[in-house]
A and B are shown apart, each in its own frame.
Chain A
């Protein structure tokens, strides 16, 4: 099935700095989704990207899907303490299997 690799595993930033997490695959992805999980919480859907080279924005968050549909990124501009959490990318499990496969996530830690 499909697998996605996420880097970095942990990212420490000062409040106000930018943050980027990357999601990579060795195979072409049909779509990519991003989720956020706050500490002690559950994953919450942020966005889905489907088209090659697609770019979507949500306030300070910018999501990109690579031209080859093998990678994606999430960029946060001027981080705030409310951005703390783990960001996961996910894609279809592949091989005809149902459900989504998730990356290992990037833990964002913000120092005030």
Chain B
């Protein structure tokens, strides 16, 4: 138990589907992150939220849409994905993203796009 909970653990979706990934942290942290992990690019930073404001978007395609309603919850809305988007999507949290503090990761959502 890391204090960061992700659901679902596994997701299979077609290219025309719309789905959402959910992340919740119980650590009282101020920052939350989405990382993508695939064989080609392990641990690729996608989005950073600090005090529920997005501070980083690393050139992520618009078919990925993050949402952070408060410092404890983070969503990743998915629509019209491509097969190459199949990967493990990891949520993480930390106290302060500006000073490079350690990250606490959730167990991830293994996504397969058919």
Residue positions of A touching B, CB distance < 8 A:
30-31, 33, 35, 41-45, 48, 86, 88, 90-93, 97-102, 104-105
Q: Known contacts being A31-B100, A42-B90, A91-B100, is A101 close to B45, with CB within 8 Å?
A: yes
Q: How far is the CB of A4 from chain B (nearest CB, A)?
A: 11
29 CB < 8 A contacts A-B: A31-B100, A41-B107, A42-B2, A42-B90, A42-B105, A42-B107, A42-B108, A43-B105, A44-B2, A44-B105, A45-B102, A45-B104, A88-B42, A88-B43, A90-B103, A93-B45, A93-B56, A97-B56, A98-B31, A98-B48, A98-B97, A98-B98, A99-B33, A99-B48, A99-B56, A99-B97, A100-B100, A102-B45, A105-B43
Give Cα distance in the complex from A20 to B61, angstroms.
Answer: 37
* Interface pair B105/A33, CB less than 8 Å apart: no
* Interface pair A30/B100, CB less than 8 Å apart: yes
> Across the two chains, which residue of chain A brings its CB closest to B45?
A99
Q: Which B residues between 93 and 111 are near A, CB-CB below 8 angstroms?
A: 97-100, 102-108
- Chain A residues within an 8 Å CB radius of B107: 41-42
Interface residues on B, range: 20 to 34
Bitwise, B56-88 to A at CB < 8 A (1) or not (0) is 100000000000000000000000000000000
**B17 contacts A by Cβ under 8 Å:** no
- Chain A residues within an 8 Å CB radius of B42: 86, 88, 102, 104-105
**B55 contacts A by Cβ under 8 Å:** yes
**A33 is contacted by which of B45, B97, B102 (Cβ under 8 Å)?**
B102
